[in-house]
Amino acid sequence: MKILISTDFYINNLGGVTTSILALCAGLRSQGHSVKVLTLSDHRESYRDGDDCFISSVPAYYAPDMRITLDLNDPLIDELIQWRPDIIHVQSEASALLMAKKIQKECNVPLIMTCHTDYAYFVLGNLKNLPPVKTVSSDAGRLFYSSAFKIIVPSRKALNFPFLQAFRERMVVVPNGIELEKHQKALSVEEKEDLRRALGIAKDRKILAAITRISKEKNIQELIGYLPDLLKKVPDATLLIVGEGPYRKHLEDLAEELGVCDRIVFAGRISAQDVWRYYAIADIFVSASVFEVHSMSYLEALAQGLPLLCRQDEALDGVLEHGYNGFAYTSQDEFTDYACRILKDDGLRKSLSSGSLRIVQRFSAQAFAASALRVYEDTIREWHSETAQSGQPVSRLKALLERL
């Protein structure tokens, strides 16, 4: 099958979406499918790198971290039209969607989309559940997702997103995956000590690692707020925060206010190739976020065999099994109690670690690709059926279906 993946976020903008796309591409290619990626260049020139096509772009006026393209007539887009994909999978809602829609129109093939983010919560927080806000969100969703024949969401939590409610019959859950071989490397004792030394963390300290973008919705402030109470019971605990973002100064000020600056380490932004090292030196992965849909950092932590200690949320379904590979907390007392149990009981920590390593197998790149492929095949069959009923040409689709 020839599969085109279109995305605004790729290797020039590393994050969870990119990690997911790379795993999907790797899994599909390992099963013999031809996959090309259409994305944005980080400058005003287009170029091709193997099967990846980068289209010239400029900074988006509405979001400095994003880019947009002003040229939908780029020769590389024309090449993809000539390649004639069997299906188009769009991973974001800006330029990637516009480029994909042009190719879809020319090639007369189905287009599906993955929704990675709860945009209503990102913009409005808990106000998203107010009836007027739900109505506006639903209208916005129609604007972006009406072209999608099917909509993939990474967890059941996303089925209730306000802006997707007009498309519930089109939605299908496909959990994200990761390339396990990139995240299941091991550090020697000496390498762990060297990294701890570089971070200023003594080798006898217990590390709770929060590996995430530092923004308000990630709720890292809750973890810092819980730290003084935890330190009374586990004096050798240290909170390691890996990542960067606009909320860092606020968190640093909060740490100073609470008198825990010496027990918090801000590691800053780490390259995607090296982030596994920071999971490898940790004792627990912690998260207070209820913003996640199906966080890649959860999966990366599982791949390193870390116990999870996360605020209870639907996004944890299938990822965290309470008491098996970690604990889901709902209060400060629960957080402190579970953290103490994991950090003080080596046998429990090893048991939870084994649970994480078993659960992460569900999210391998191969399992991810197999699930996505079933959606592709179902979509093509349904598209063929609807196209046949409408009287449009179907010979190409028939030929594809015979190969499936």
Last residue of a domain, one of 331, 347, 362: 362
Q: Poorest-confidence range of 55-69, 200-214, 291-305?
A: 55-69
* pLDDT tens readout for residues 165-205: 888 899 999 999 999 999 999 999 999 999 999 999 998 99
Same-domain status, 253 and 128? no
In 10 A of CB 115, how many CB atoms?
24
How many domains does the chain fold into? Answer: 2
327: nearest Cα among 303, 351, 313, 307: 307
This prediction's pTM: 0.87
Q: What pLDDT does 327 receive?
A: 98
pLDDT classification of 32: cutoffs 50, 70, 90: very high
Do 321 and 344 have their domain in common? yes
- Virtual torsion, Cα 123, 124, 130, 134, nearest 10 deg: 0
Q: What is the pLDDT of residues 330-384, one digit of tens each?
A: 999 999 999 999 999 999 999 999 999 999 999 999 999 999 999 999 999 999 8
pLDDT at residue 143, as a whole number: 77
Query: Which pLDDT belongs to residue 81?
Result: 97
What CATH number does the domain containing 308 carry?
3.40.50.2000
Range of the domain at 201: 181-362
Work out the widest C-alpha separation in the chain, in whole angstroms: 72
Least confident of 26-30, 205-209, 271-275: 271-275
Task: Judge contact between 187 and 281, C-beta under 8 A.
Answer: yes
Average pLDDT over residues 149-169: 88
Q: What is the pLDDT of residue 118?
A: 72
Looking at the fold, whether 193 and 298 belong to one and the same domain comes out as yes
CA dist 385 and 382 (Å) reads 5
24 and 84 housed in the same domain:
yes
pLDDT of residue 285: 98
Residue 10 confidence (pLDDT): 86
Closest by Cα among 187, 158, 185 to 173: 158
Q: Is the pLDDT of residue 387 over 80?
A: no
Considering the domain architecture, whether residues 343 and 392 belong to the same structural domain is answered as no
CA-to-CA separations, 302 to 180, 184, 264, 284, 363, in angstroms, rounded: 10, 9, 23, 10, 10
Burial class (CB in 10 A: 0-12, 13-18, 19+), 216: middle
- Given a cut of 70, whether residue 124 has pLDDT beyond it is no
pLDDT at 307 > cutoff 70 = yes
- Indicate if 58 and 41 belong to the same structural domain: yes
Q: Is 244 exposed, middle or buried (0-12, 13-18, 19+ CB in 10 A)?
A: middle
Mean pLDDT computed over 273-297: 94
What residue ranges in 142-249 does DSSP mark as E strands?
A: 150-153, 171-173, 206-211, 237-242
Give the pairing type, strands 52-55 and 58-60.
unpaired
Q: 245 with 340, same domain?
A: yes
Average pLDDT, the chain: 90
Structure confidence at residue 272 as a pLDDT band (50, 70, 90): confident
Residue bearing the bigger pLDDT, 389 or 255: 255
Q: Read off the pLDDT band of 153 (50, 70, 90).
A: very high
Same structural domain, 170 and 235: no
142 and 6 together in one domain: yes
Statement to judge: residues 222 and 317 lie in one domain: yes
Residues 351 and 208 in one domain: yes
User: Has residue 2 got a pLDDT over 90?
Assistant: yes
Are both 358 and 386 inside the same structural domain? no
Q: Determine the pLDDT at residue 101.
A: 96
Q: Residue 281: is its pLDDT beyond 80?
A: yes
Residues 82-106 have a mean pLDDT of: 95
